[in-house]
Amino acid sequence: MESWIERQRNILDFTLSSLLRRKGKNAALLSVYTLVVFMLASVVFFVHSIKKEASIILHDAPEMVVQRMVAGRHDPIPIRYMEKIKEIRGVSSVRGRLWGYYYDSVVGANYTLVVTENSQLAAGKIAIGVGISRTRLAFKGDTLEFRAYDGSIIHLEINNIISSASELVSSDLVLISEEDFRRLFGGSREHATDITLKVKNSKEIPTVALKIAELFPDARVILRDEILRTYDAVFNWRGGMMIVILAGALLAFIIFAWDKASGLSLEERREIGILKAIGWETSDVILMKFWEGLAVSLSSFLSGILLAYVHVFFTSSALFEPALKGWGVLYPDFKLVPFIDFSQIATLFFLTVVPYTVATIIPSWRAATIDPDSVMRA
């Protein structure tokens, strides 16, 4: 056993010396390889964590939301719809939600205004998310101006800044009283933005949804499951930018593998020829190439994973931020919870280390089985 270990170490020594002889080329290879693993791992970590966090946070989202559609657009829903919905067997509570968007031309940001049922907010007072506070430099006690639907200016005093811990859901929120909401947007008191409801038995949710759709043909019902599925689908691997990143990484690996599988350089072939001439066996040469592939891919893999973890969970995915932010002025400053598990690391390992290591062995085997004399003369 000891001699076997010693043999491996000797071959590894030789392999590392051989790699160091081509320092520049191998350093470039190592950097690109690390970068590819880093990008792939960053995407995997980010996507998995945000999906998991969304599923936890939105677990208590409304069981069912009923919207009214007019000419293909979401329209305020008459409050009288609630009476009929209440009568459906299995429905335990119904509430009309009031919410909407407000475009703040001062900073070019869209706010989400929400009226809360149990709000402690008096008329003239609002609570704002940290994103708005940061963008408008507005704090508790300050006043924000809003332009109402009729052109009048409404001054609302900031009563509270919503905790920064919940920024992922509240960054652009303005909590407002019903009275101020109606002053700002007008509209009839007989209408709400949409209706939310609770169902006693969760198994009855599809039946209740079907009944609502039958009762109100102009209604669109959104179930909690659909809300949760939305976030599962948003960052699906087939979606938009994900496929661009994955395709880029895949292409890079095809180039790596092609470079390796298409054969060795003249210098490498000569090296193998000399090794065979001085008594190395084919199996020794293959072992050397195996160590070479493993040394490059394993160090790149580990460095890439470590850097990706720091990128996603310590710098809040700084490289992805411009893409996620888009044209949005308000972007939540959030730190994802690192929901990582062994299967993610194993998937990345089999996607990156194994193909490269295998790709280095095949051409070496071909070179190692030919006559050393002809290799050295070539």
Partner 1 sequence: MRKSNIFLLGILIQGFLLLLLFVHATYTEKAAGPRLEEKREMVKRLELTDLCLFTEASYTRHLSQADLHTPFQSYPLSLEHFPSGSILQPPAMLKRTNGKLD
What's the min distance (Å) between Cβ of 178 and partner 1? 14
Indicate which single residue of 126, 199, 330, 368 sits in contact with partner 1 (rule: CB under 8 A).
330
How would you classify the pairing of strands 173-176 and 109-115?
Answer: parallel
247 near partner 1, judged by CB under 8 A? no
Residues facing residue 94 across a β-bridge: 197
**Inter-residue contact 176 to 132 (CB < 8 Å):** no
Q: What are the φ/ψ torsions at residue 316 (nearest 5 degrees)?
A: 55, 45
Residues facing residue 372 across a β-bridge: none
217 near partner 1, judged by CB under 8 A? no
What's the min distance (Å) between Cβ of 55 and partner 1? 11
Nearer to partner 1, 282 or 344 (CB): 344
d(CA 321, CA 228): 23
What's the min distance (Å) between Cβ of 330 and partner 1? 5
Give the contact letters, 138-177, x = binds to partner 1 (CB under 8 A), - = no. ------------------------xx-xxxxxxxxx-x--
21 near partner 1, judged by CB under 8 A? no
345 near partner 1, judged by CB under 8 A? yes
Which H or E run contains 234? helix 224-234
Nearer to partner 1, 47 or 359 (CB): 47
d(CA 334, CA 324): 12
Touching partner 1, residues 251-290 (CB under 8 A): none
d(CA 213, CA 220): 7
Question: What tokens were used for 229?
Answer: 């599925």
d(CA 331, CA 131): 7
How would you classify the pairing of strands 191-192 and 77-78?
Answer: antiparallel
**Inter-residue contact 285 to 68 (CB < 8 Å):** no
Touching partner 1, residues 97-116 (CB under 8 A): 97, 101, 109-110, 112, 114, 116
Nearer to partner 1, 121 or 275 (CB): 121
Nearer to partner 1, 61 or 79 (CB): 61
Indicate which single residue of 32, 95, 187, 261 sits in contact with partner 1 (rule: CB under 8 A).
95
Touching partner 1, residues 182-211 (CB under 8 A): 194, 196
Number of residues that bind partner 1 (CB under 8 A): 89
